[in-house]
Amino acid sequence: MAKLLHMPEVSANATHAAIQNWTLKEGDTISAGDCIAEIETEKALVELAAEEDAVLGKILVEPGREVEVGAPIGVLFARGETNVDIAALLAKAGALSAANEPVVDAPVLQPRAEVAPAIDVCHSERIFASPLARRLAAAKGLDLTSLKGSGPNGRIVKRDVEAAPAANTALASVAAPVSAIDFDEVPHSSMRKTIARRLVESKATVPHFYLELECRMEPLLALREQVNRTASRKISINDFIVKAVAVALRQVPAMNVTWTETALRRYHQADVCVAVSTDSGLITPVVRNADSKALSQISADVAELAGRARDGRLRPEEYQGGSFTISNLGMFGVEQFSAIINPPHAAILAVGATQLKPVVENGELTVGSVLRCTLSVDHRAVDGALAAQWLAVFKGLLENPLGMLI
Amino acid sequence: MSEIKFDVIVVGGGPGGYVAAIRASQLGLRTALVEKAQLGGVCLNWGCIPTKALLRSADVLRLIGNASSFGIEVAAARPDLKAIVKRSRDVAAQLHRGVSGLMKKHRVQVFNGHARLDGPQRLKVTGEKGDFSLSAPHIILATGARARVLPGMEPDGKHFWTYRQALVPDSVPKRLVIIGAGAIGVEFASFYHALGAQVSLVEMAERILPIEDQEISAHVAQALTRDGIRLYTGCALQGSKVEQGIVQLRLEGKSNETLEADVVLVAAGIVGNVEELGLESTGVKVQHTHVLVDEFCRTGEPGVYAIGDLAGAPWLAHKASHEAVLCVEKIAGLNPHPLDSRSVPACTYSHPQVASVGYTEAQARSAGKTIRVGKFPFAANGKAIAMGATEGFVKVVFDAASGELLGAHMVGEEVTEMIQGYAIARGLETTEAELIDSILPHPTMSEAMHEAVLAAYDRALHG
């Protein structure tokens, strides 16, 4: 019996999603568990796996087109089944598909499965602007959504763009006379848009404060060397930091919280997110229960999550949750930086490089291995003294690493 | 003396005035229109429309003369001037009645008479049955313009004509000299030449149709010369005298000849009808016979507006109508946009026809723009070849940086009907990309418009 394949709710609260790629074509036989398609969410690619044996009868939504969650995206035939009345199936699906006209209108056979123009996916609302206004705005580096149109029905026209100050005057005045097309435009991916939206939201609405301190790293470096001499997989400084953060969260549970409009959410386990840079942007996979995991397990988890994050193949549950993020730019030689809190987290620890530096020890100037950390904290959820107390615990763990292994 | 109150009063019933009245009425304003002569103004009664009727007769005559090239043998065609003129007048009369009907339909109260400002918000109208007063907070002056009269060449209907006499000739002059090679001069040159007159065109500027693109002017000059019309460009008039019924015109400049003419048609520009309007005691400012206005047609006197020819160049009916609408909409509190003079198309119904909109190539260059120019000849257009209408070409000017269509210029058969495509493109602010992507029907002469755009980007398919 043929049935409709619906767009799953691949990430929490998402109302829309797009098929990034059909991994099978019409007529292909499917075994339960096979990946039928890859679905792009705001954060990652998710595989849509078959629940039972079937045949991919029809593809209703071409790649790239965003449709409502729950909308039919394809038709699965039973093996051996022919003469399926797809129209009747869609009609039976009723309200949802009717409310989602493009899906119903989708031709049964797509002669070419071209990716729809980026603009259809990127803009939920069409911006009315003349072609010339679009081009001039691009040359000026202006975002059309920031302009008010004075043309018929609010259409953005040349004079509106000319009246707007250039986004970057220096750039525009140099670039414009030569050519308006001295650049090319890469349409934003869903992921990039999510990053932008969330970071703006964080920086604009979350009251950040910052605490900085230095940790002496000699004991940790010595321990790491010792461990790595025998360990099957190398443990990184970052693995120690993940562990130390988690243990510190366990020891100062008041820090393991997130702010919501109605209540402070206190977490029962220490889940630590690690910022991973990928080609398409930043993502923060979560290491669950990091306080109780062995360093080798943390190392394996981080490596595995980071690898799949770079492939865009994280599942939502692998990057959602937690209260705390670690962002480590030490491997790039960055000495110190401040990070933007990753909402809804309450804090993010920016970790720099471990460097040899002059330090004062017992009144004597000497050389020490120093790691600088900056903690960004959501002041709504955590006050300064508490954050400082947590940071002291963290520093203690890092400087006496055996303590966190016990 | 009774006084009738309105919201808006329009003075002058030409394509500026009557359109203003209709729009005002559409917007719920109580509207009156005062006209001293005929509704429809010069355009409809003595300009645009009747000349097109005459030129159509000339076209038919030319086509019949050319019939054998289409495989049709006919006896020699003979123009009947009386019938040609009658047809032209009938056309004007029909449209005049049409405007009267429009006024009734839109409940615009029409008064016949001469209106002049008579204190704030007041007009004194002198009609056949005496004087009366009208008042309104908004008074739109749309009194138009008339032909400039050159000293010593005052129109007498015999040796000296303006367009008025040229529209209703009793006979075709043997030798006609036309002073001024703008649109009016060139159109009459085409008409009278077709009817057998020996026509000479005298122009002070260095080229005929001096406001058109240089290449277009050059093409028309070549076509007129080929047909036998004599051109005297770069020539000023030194003097004229009438001897034994023949006008002697002494030229000075590139030619110092003395031309002999049976009739001289003076088409050397126009002057605004600013007199007898009572402007003297108001804040309305007049410069070079035109009323100075701002971008919404407001004069220096609150509540007094001026539109169309009265308010200055370009002296075109469609410019007047457009100003009429924006002026009234501003009065009604809407949010119209000022007229973009670079988006006003201009047409000359000579043989060959000329149509243009926006910047000429030279204007674009002197405005400091980096441009791309594309041209396409009708001789390479299939439909034009089939129609026997291969004369002329299309030329487009783009801003190289933004792709804005800066201007379009056309010369050839019925190009006046095609320029709207480019006018809309400019209005919608298309760039070359949308024009290139547009699908134009085959076979049409308008395909040359597409090809010219392609040519500007080195992509012409048939050129």
Q: What's the CATH code of the domain at B322?
A: 3.50.50.60
Q: Do B322 and B391 have their domain in common?
A: no
B402 and chain A in contact, CB less than 8 A: yes
Q: Quick check: is B155 in a domain?
A: no
* Annotated catalytic residue, options B322, B442, B450, B462: B442
Chosen domain end from B244, B268, B292: B268
B252 close to B237: Cβ distance less than 8 angstroms: yes
- By C-alpha distance, the chain A residue nearest B335 is A150
Name the residue facing A135 among B337, B370, B402 (closest C-beta): B402
- By C-alpha distance, the chain B residue nearest A139 is B402
Per the annotation, the verdict on A188 as an active-site residue is no
Burial class (CB in 10 A: 0-12, 13-18, 19+), A44: buried
B429:A176 CB<8 A: no
Q: Do B107 and B68 have their domain in common?
A: yes
Could you check whether the bond before residue A344 is cis, i.e. omega within 30 degrees of 0? yes
Nearest CA distance, B402 vs chain A (angstrom): 6
B403:A135 CB<8 A: yes
Could you check whether the bond before residue B443 is cis, i.e. omega within 30 degrees of 0? yes
On chain B, the residues whose CB falls within 8 A of the CB of A163 are none
| Phi, psi values for residue B54, rounded to 5° | -60, -45
B433 and chain A in contact, CB less than 8 A: yes
- Domains of chain A: residue spans and CATH: 3-117 (2.40.50.100), 127-178 (4.10.320.10), 208-405 (3.30.559.10)
pLDDT in 10s for each residue of chain B, 463 residues: 568 999 999 999 999 999 999 999 999 999 999 999 999 999 999 999 999 999 999 999 999 999 999 999 999 899 999 999 999 999 999 999 999 999 999 999 999 999 999 999 999 999 998 999 999 999 999 999 999 999 989 999 899 999 999 999 999 999 999 999 999 999 999 999 999 999 999 999 999 999 999 999 999 999 999 999 999 999 999 999 999 999 999 999 999 999 999 999 999 999 999 999 999 989 999 999 999 999 999 999 999 999 999 999 999 999 999 999 999 999 999 989 999 989 999 999 999 999 999 999 999 999 999 999 999 999 999 999 999 999 999 999 999 999 999 999 999 999 999 999 999 999 999 999 999 999 999 999 999 999 999 999 999 998 8
A313 close to A45: Cβ distance less than 8 angstroms: yes
Query: Residue B371 belongs to what domain range?
Result: 352-456
Cα–Cα distances (Å) from B371 to B361, B374, B399, B438, in that order, read 8, 10, 5, 21
Q: Quick check: is B426 in a domain?
A: yes
CATH number at residue B448: 3.30.390.30
Burial class (CB in 10 A: 0-12, 13-18, 19+), A119: exposed
On chain B, the residues whose CB falls within 8 A of the CB of A131 are 403, 428-431, 433-434
Residue in this structure with the two tokens 């039976």, named with its chain if needed: A92
State the Cα torsion B26-B27-B28-B32 to the nearest 10°: -70
C-alpha A147/C-alpha A150 separation (Å) is: 9
Q: Helix or strand or coil: residue B78?
A: coil
B370:A130 CB<8 A: no
B429:A133 CB<8 A: yes
Task: Give CB contacts under 8 A, 24+ apart, made by A29-38.
Answer: A29/A53, A29/A54, A29/A55, A29/A79, A30/A54, A30/A55, A30/A56, A30/A76, A36/A5, A36/A74, A37/A73, A37/A74
A315 and chain B in contact, CB less than 8 A: no
Chosen domain end from B268, B300, B331: B268
Q: Do B264 and B277 have their domain in common?
A: no
**Burial track A89-116 (b if 16+ CB lie within 10 A, e otherwise):** bbeebeebbeebeebbebeeeeeeeeee
Helix (H) or strand (E) holding A243: helix A237-251
DSSP state of B298: B
A130 and chain B in contact, CB less than 8 A: yes
- By C-alpha distance, the chain A residue nearest B369 is A177
Residue A200: how many CB atoms within 10 A of its CB?
11
Beta strand ranges found along B368-460 (DSSP E): 371-377, 392-399, 405-412
A179:B401 CB<8 A: yes
Q: Do B30 and B115 have their domain in common?
A: yes
Chosen domain end from B341, B361, B384: B341
- By C-alpha distance, the chain A residue nearest B428 is A130
B402:A179 CB<8 A: no
